[in-house]
Chains A and B, each alone.
Chain A
Amino acid sequence: MAAPSIVITGSGAVCAAGAQPDDILSMVLAGQSAIAPITQWDHSQWPTHVAGEIADFDPRAMVADRKLHKLVRRTDLVGLYAAGRAIERSGIVAQRDALPPGKAAVYSDRSGVIVGSGGGNFENQYDFFPLLTQARGELPAFGRELTDVVNPMWLLRTLPNNVLGHIGIKYGLKGTNACITSHSVGGLLAVIEAFEALRSGEADRVVAVGHETPIEPQMILYYYRLGLIAADTLRPFDAARDGSQFGEGAGALVLETEASAQSRGARVLGTVLGSGNATEGHGLLAIRDDGDGPARAMAQALDDAGIGPADVGMIVAHGNGTRTSDASEVAAIRTVFGGNPPPVTGFKWAFGHLIAAAGIVETVVSLAALKSRVVPGIATLRELDPEFAGLPVALGPQTPRSDIALVLCRGFAGTNAALLVRAP
């Protein structure tokens, strides 16, 4: 029995650069960064001011069902939006709904949902501030007056797995599922787990989602104090790079076995070829200088796909713009690709670091770029770090060496994930 080929039949994304994959790619290709002054709070007295917010955020544009708005938070709304676009474009629910009831039930049971979620924000707990004030900080009063002051749905609105549960309910998907809360790699890990579940026959189709809205005062303040936030511009691989910037958003992909996609003549956006994961294990924030983790993740993905470094057409780097992450990532690229890597790019300069959504949104944009046979440039690059001499990054567009993209993603706890996708 041959392992099934795994294809992508639907994609969706929303972030500061747009609410459609092609729109996001157009912004990136135009060299326009969507990172702008934060509008969610008055930061005039703050030391840091910008992020990639979704402009004029309208909950109803994200999720039409207003009843649902009371049960979820902003991060869930963007996740549900991206998932909805991907599901609708793939046509899986329409196909299921045309089946007789018995077959439709099997179809639903063979349809999975795997989500990478941020796991929560600090401000979720601020909902208890009015109660703490009313109780004058005393716990007995806090307990007595709890139900008078706090929304009874507080816990449900705060569940990290809300997108998973609500996608299931809305679209009637009932198969294999997971909610991964491993910081930045969560979204890409959702794609990888979906790919693995399909290869091993646990499902016929899986919706993979990554979502996060990390732009809240307390979160940004911690990253700022840790020296991880750029003063004004995110400049990956630049000699003067000084940190990252937050963005908010979500991405989604529908993955299927080729047989499932062919059963309705679905339009194929790409093929998943292989994946890799590796952990450095030195703590929450520490990363190795030698790029050990990302190198192993990339090498594993190539091995898994049965291809060599020369077959890769472009590398979509994590490129978060911090001194150490970018340097170790370049070390890893050199380890795996030697002196001849394909064109390298990254997208965080354009819409910020989407944390749990980063890897999957970047995969969505990579598929759009592969379709256009272009490696978008890094428009904020002014002077390549001399330590990275020979790294094929550019201010403007480059031409991919083949129809295969390697997407690299890194997160807290020294986690690394790599995915190989091929354009149709």
Chain B
Amino acid sequence: MIRNPASTPRRRVAVTGIGLVTPVGNDVATTWEALLEGRSGADTISLFDASGFSTRIAAEVKKFANVLVVDRRLLKFTNRSHRFALEAAEQAMRDAGIRPTPDDAHRWGCAVGAGMMTADFDDLHETHAYAAAAGELDVDLLLSDRPANDPLVFCRGQSAAGLALLTRRFGIHGYATSVHTACASGGQALGTALKAIRRGRVDRVLAGGFDSMISPVGIGGFCLLSALSPDNDTPQRASRPFDATRNGFLLGEGAGFVVLEEWESARARGARIYAELAGDGNSLSSYRITDSPPDGDGPIQAMRQALADAGAAAADIDYINAHGTSTGMNDRSESAAIRAVFGTETDRIAVSSTKSTMGHLIAAAGAVEGVVCALAIDRGAIPVNANLVERDPECNLNLVADVSRRGRLRMTLSNSFGFGGSNSCIVMRRPEAVDGRSGAGS
């Protein structure tokens, strides 16, 4: 008696709203301009005194003031990454020009890629000073410790906090989920949303990712793994994916959100459509927790699945937004994977990693880069892979060095690979290729 999803024509999904808060801009227009110019968002860390760390640089979101969030009562329940999420989601909702109503709230979903659950460093610091001054927690002192008894510290630290804020802010009452697969989180959130609409669970989804790890514990965690570029004197050059001299990634922060709608209903209301979210590929490398398989096994399956899911061939893809972290291991593994999937088409397909300018937004990365792939189709332009000077011969790709490119893009693909081995790949398609009509709204 199980309803048969395979018996009805598959629902298509439109991207009708986008929002970005990134280290290179607090909105879509500013971010997009910086990505085309290859203008870096990196600098010496200002959020805390990082002078003693081996890496003292990051790509911070700048002059951020939550300009759009009307419901300021929510802000006390937020940490920095939640504020980015509320802002980017608000941008996406306004851009889409539609909101849940009491009548259709249960047909709206929310799927987010959220960062790791933590208490803010200031709270940790305070708890240490009061209840763990000798280095170990005194559980009896915890009973009168300020942060450990402040329900707001608890609420902000919960892994479902961002989901709670977003569903409340926008009145979303349908399918809601928060996922975390490290650097693949944002891409997986978009893929999850796509599937929820296809399965008929919901008609519209607010989907995205948000993260901020630029804190003593976050930077410290990555420094301990020697994962970050130590180029403290040249922060804007530190992230140089696919360059032979790359030496680690640049930590960024921010949020990216999209409003996804069932295609026909989006057309019926005359919505402006950036692109079709056409395919999702999702695999597990099962190799090592942090290492990338040198032959690209894992990412290969994710890309192939995404193409098949979108009904696309290698020849249909015009741009790949690479995971491109600027670590030797990722960039070589990813290059091998792209070549294995795209064969001779590899020489034709433009590739860039926008982490070269924005840095690595961790749980937000896949969502922000998904937005970049939709924008590339909509604006007919390809962002630059900044800082590419000396090409690594083992990364033999058609990299967009020096200047951005212009052109009519048919399909674009975004890669996101996470610690733990999760690989997420999503494919966007030009609206005309779906139903012969442009994406302009009416």
Contacts and interface: CB of A to CB of B under 8 A. Distances in A.
Interface of A: 1-3, 5-6, 41-43, 45-47, 71, 108-109, 112-113, 117-126, 128-130, 132-134, 137, 139-147, 150-156, 158-162, 164-166, 168-169, 172-183, 189, 193, 196, 199-202, 217-218, 221-222, 225-226, 273-274, 277-285, 293, 296, 304-307, 411-415
A181 B188 contact: no
Contacts of B77: 283-284
B69 interface: no
Contact of A218 (B142, B158, B290): B142
Contacts of B4: 1-3
Given A168-B286, A281-B105, A414-B167, A273 B1 contact: yes
A145 B165 CA distance: 37
B172 A279 contact: yes
B119 A199 contact: no
Interface of B: 1-7, 48-54, 56, 77, 105-106, 110, 114, 116-119, 124-125, 127-129, 132-137, 139-140, 142-143, 148-149, 151, 153-155, 157-161, 163-165, 167-168, 170-182, 188, 192, 195, 198-199, 201, 216-217, 220-225, 282-290, 298, 301, 418-422
Nearest to A6: B2
Nearest to A5: B2
B55 to A, nearest CB: 9
A158 B136 CA distance: 19
B142 A221 contact: yes
A276 to B, nearest CB: 9
Nearest to A41: B139
Given A200-B5, A413-B163, 20 more contacts: A3-B3, A113-B284, A139-B49, A139-B50, A139-B51, A143-B54, A143-B216, A146-B52, A146-B53, A147-B223, A150-B220, A154-B221, A156-B225, A173-B286, A174-B284, A182-B176, A200-B6, A279-B110, A284-B155, A306-B1
Contact of B179 (A181, A281, A283): A181
Given A156-B289, A168-B284, A284-B164, A182 B128 contact: no
B135 A412 contact: no
B143 A1 contact: no
A189 B177 contact: yes
B180 A168 contact: no
Contacts of B159: 118-120, 160, 181-183
B139 A156 contact: no
B339 to A, nearest CB: 19
A304 B200 CA distance: 11
Contacts of B110: 279
Given A46-B139, A128-B220, A196 B199 contact: yes
Contacts of A179: 179-181, 420, 422
Nearest to B49: A139
Contacts of A307: 1
A181 B224 contact: no
Contacts of A119: 114, 116-117, 158-160, 180
A200 B172 contact: no
Contacts of B224: 146-147, 150-155
25 contacts: A43-B139, A46-B140, A125-B124, A128-B220, A139-B216, A143-B50, A143-B54, A146-B52, A159-B419, A161-B420, A161-B422, A164-B421, A165-B284, A175-B282, A180-B179, A181-B159, A182-B163, A182-B178, A217-B139, A226-B154, A278-B106, A281-B170, A413-B176, A413-B178, A415-B160
A304 B5 CA distance: 11
A135 to B, nearest CB: 8
Contacts of A178: 179, 181, 188, 192, 282, 422
A293 B419 CA distance: 34
A161 B2 contact: no
Pairs A-B, 4 closest by C-beta atoms: A143-B52, A119-B159, A165-B420, A155-B221
A3 B125 contact: no
Given A159-B116, A169-B289, A413-B176, A282 B50 contact: no
Nearest to A307: B1
Contact of B283 (A42, A175, A225): A175
B116 A177 contact: no
B119 A122 contact: yes
Given A159-B182, A165-B420, A122 B5 contact: no
Nearest to A128: B217
A221 B148 CA distance: 7
A307 B1 CA distance: 8
Contacts of A140: 49, 51-52
Contacts of B172: 279, 281
Which of A117, A125, A153, A217 has the largest count of B CB atoms less than 10 A from its CB?
A: A125
B45 to A, nearest CB: 10
Given A141-B52, A143-B51, A189-B177, A200 B182 contact: no
Contacts of A130: 135-136
A117 B148 contact: no
